[in-house]
Structure 1
Amino acid sequence: MKKIFYVVAYDVKSDKKRKKISELLEEWGVRVNFSVFECEIPRKALSPLKKKIEALINPKSDSVLYYPLCLNCRSQSERCGMTAFRSFEQKLIVV
């Protein structure tokens, strides 16, 4: 199944809804900033994910942005500051 790399950024006022959105995105990627995730999402899963997120937000006060990145663009990304982010291959294990 082909996966597409997305940067997903959101600005959601409700703490409860923001938490639910982050939990949905954690299934597909890693948090790289407070409200920003890098995700690898299969094509077939993108539309259902968007629908779940859209059902949570208030379109008058909240926003969610999806930025697809090609492999070449992704390889040229740069980070400044904290670099202790997990990669997709790393799994977070809490004991």
Structure 2
Amino acid sequence: MNNVIIVTYDISNNKTRTHFSKFLEKYGVRVQFSVYEIQNSKRILDIVQNAIQAKFKKRFESGDSVYLFKANHNDTIRYGSAALIDKDLIIL
């Protein structure tokens, strides 16, 4: 399983952004607040790409952006091993 896509997004609408993020969580790992790494078979990666096209593209606003970068896991260079932990921010 050497197929990888990196999905990065900037979506202004909270509801759309949350729905999009939850969709990506089903297939990949959040590596930054708006960046997911999805490692899977080519078939699954195609499903993800097609779902973004069919279900989400029409919901994106003019200022939104979503990028999919295709890569091969063997060609990936990674420094550090920190994992992003989603925690609610509380300001007192």
TM over 0.5: same fold?
yes
Once the 2 structures are TM-superposed, how far is the Cα of residue 3 of structure 1 from its aligned partner? 6.8
Q: Which amino acid aligns with 2:18?
A: K
Report the alpha carbon displacement of residue 85 of structure 1 after superposing the two structures with TM: 4.6
- Give the whole-Å Cα distance in 2 for the aligned partners of 1:3 and 1:54: 27
* Gaps in structure 1 of 5+ consecutive residues: 87-95
TM-score (norm 1): 0.70
What CA distance in whole angstroms lies between the structure 1 residues aligned with 2:60 and 2:78? 29
Once the two structures are TM-superposed, the CA of residue 41 in structure 1 deviates from its matched residue by 4.4
CA gap 1:36/1:20 in 2 versus in 1, 3 angstroms: same
Aligned length: 81
Helix, strand or coil for the counterpart of 2:78? coil
**Alignment match, 2:30:** 31
Corresponding residue for residue 82 of structure 2: 83
Q: What does residue 90 of structure 1 align with?
A: none
Query: 1:57 maps to what in 2?
Result: 60
- The one-character-per-residue Cα deviations of 1:35-88 (angstroms, maximum 9, x if unpaired) are 111112443313432222313312x110100011112222x2224xx71358xx
Identity %: 27
Q: CA RMSD in A?
A: 2.3
Q: Which has the higher contact order (CA 8 A, sep 6+)?
A: 2
Instruction: Describe the SS at the equivalent of 1:78.
Output: coil
Unaligned ranges ≥5, structure 2: 86-92
Distance 1:41 1:48, change over 3 A: farther
Which residue does 2:11 correspond to in 1? 12
Counterpart Cα distance in 2 of 1:69 and 1:50 = 18
